Chains A and B, each alone.
Chain A
Amino acid sequence: QQPVQSPQAVILREGEDAVINCSSSKALYSVHWYRQKHGEAPVFLMILLKGGEQKGHEKISASFNEKKQQSSLYLTASQLSYSGTYFCGTEADNTGGFKTIFGAGTRLFVKA
Chain B
Amino acid sequence: EAQVTQNPRYLITVTGKKLTVTCSQNMNHEYMSWYRQDPGLGLRQIYYSMNVEVTDKGDVPEGYKVSRKEKRNFPLILESPSPNQTSLYFCASAVRQGFNEQFFGPGTRLTVL
Residues of A within 8 A of B (CB): 2, 29-30, 32, 34, 40-44, 47, 49, 87, 89, 91, 96-105
Residue B97 CB within 8 A of the other chain: yes
Docked-complex contact B102 and A32, CB < 8 angstroms: yes
Residue B61 CB within 8 A of the other chain: no
Once A41-B90, A41-B104 are accepted as A-B contacts, the answer to whether A29 and B43 lie under 8 Å apart by CB is: no
Give the shortest distance, in Å, between B37 (CB) and chain A (any CB): 9
Size class of B's contact patch?
20 to 34
Closest 5 A/B residue pairs (Cβ): A98-B98, A41-B104, A104-B42, A102-B43, A44-B101
A43→B102 CA distance, assembly (Å) = 8
Q: How many A-B residue pairs have CB under 8 A?
A: 59
Docked-complex contact B99 and A47, CB < 8 angstroms: yes
User: Chain B residues with Cβ under 8 A from A47's Cβ?
Assistant: 99-101
A96→B105 CA distance, assembly (Å) = 25
Residue B1 CB within 8 A of the other chain: no
- B54-77 interface with A by 8 A CB criterion: 56, 58-59
Once A29-B99, A104-B41 are accepted as A-B contacts, the answer to whether A96 and B56 lie under 8 Å apart by CB is: yes
A44→B103 CA distance, assembly (Å) = 7
Give the shortest distance, in Å, between B72 (CB) and chain A (any CB): 18
Give the shortest distance, in Å, between B23 (CB) and chain A (any CB): 12
Residue B21 CB within 8 A of the other chain: no
A2→B41 CA distance, assembly (Å) = 9
Contact mask for chain B residues 80-113; partner A; CB cutoff 8 A; 1 contact, 0 none: 0000000000100000011111111111000000
Apart from the given pairs A32-B101, A101-B59, 13 other A-B contacts in the complex at a CB distance below 8 Å: A29-B98, A29-B99, A41-B104, A41-B105, A42-B104, A44-B101, A44-B102, A47-B99, A47-B100, A49-B99, A100-B102, A102-B45, A104-B41
User: Chain A residues with Cβ under 8 A from B100's Cβ?
Assistant: 47
